[in-house]
Amino acid sequence: MNAIEFKNVTKSFKDGDEIIEALKSTDFSVKKGEFVAIIGPSGSGKSTFLTIAGGLQAPSNGEVLINGKTFSGKKEKERAKLRFDEIGFILQSSNLVPFLTVKNQLKLVDKVTKSKAKSKGDELFEQLGVSSLVNKYPEDLSGGERQRVAIVRALYHDPTIILADEPTASLDTDKAFEVVKILAEETKKKNKATIMVTHDLRLVDHCDKVYLMQDGVLTEKH
């Protein structure tokens, strides 16, 4: 079964009298254990695609399914719950809460989910090599360290799907490769479906499939 699937999904915006087709009719799917990259120029529709995949906006037409169940057709409250349960986001800015230590970033997730998975957090910190940073604040971390912590947080509630939006944008080449390698390894090890939007073609070697987004059209590269 596909972890996430797009069926004939489109997205249009009105700009004055003009209709802009940000995403033309798209069929797409990712299975668990697959690491997929979406590349393309700025303004090509990559961000629109990712926000629809994450349920942050609804498609104009078509349907998004998660684990075979409708996602895009649900009411916002139901979509928000499913999004929190099934999707982990990694953003280019790492999006960590500045006034919380690394350890407390996960406690915040516990409060929202009403769970206590401390041992799992410790295990992830160990796996991603950030155990020594748990009492530090985001401002005390390097860009690479922040992104590792962001990956820990995204994996912490054990989502089916990881959506990574330019996760290496603020990193130097070595750190960028390191982060992508970690994402690839965690995708396989924890059987996640991972979609990474990137403009950097050097990072796609670890991916199972690469898609090109251009003018709202998504095509697989072979």
Could you read off the pLDDT of 137-168 as tens digits, one per residue? 989 998 888 888 888 888 888 889 999 998 88
Would the pLDDT of 7 be above 60?
yes
Would the pLDDT of 93 be above 70?
no
CATH class for the region spanning 1-218: alpha beta
φ/ψ of 86, rounded to 5, equals -110, -10
**For the residues 109-133, what does the mean pLDDT come to?**
74
Average pLDDT, the chain: 88
Pairing of strands 61-66, 217-221: unpaired
Residue-wise over 77-109: b if at least 16 C-beta within 10 A, else e?
Answer: eebeebbeebbbbbbbebebeeeebbbebbeeb
The residues pairing with 218 across neighbouring beta strands, listed in sequence order, are 213
For the purposes of burial, counting CB atoms within 10 Å of the CB of 20, is it exposed (0-12), middle (13-18) or buried (19 or more)?
exposed
Query: pLDDT per residue over 97-119, tens digit each?
Result: 889 898 888 887 777 665 555 55
DSSP for 94-126, please give it.
----TTS-HHHHHHHHHHHHT---HHHHHHHHH
* CA atoms of 52 and 114, how far apart (whole Å): 27
Q: How many CB atoms lie within 10 A of CB 6?
A: 24
* Percent over 90 (pLDDT), the chain: 44
Query: In the prediction, which pLDDT does 113 show?
Result: 62
Would the pLDDT of 5 be above 90?
yes
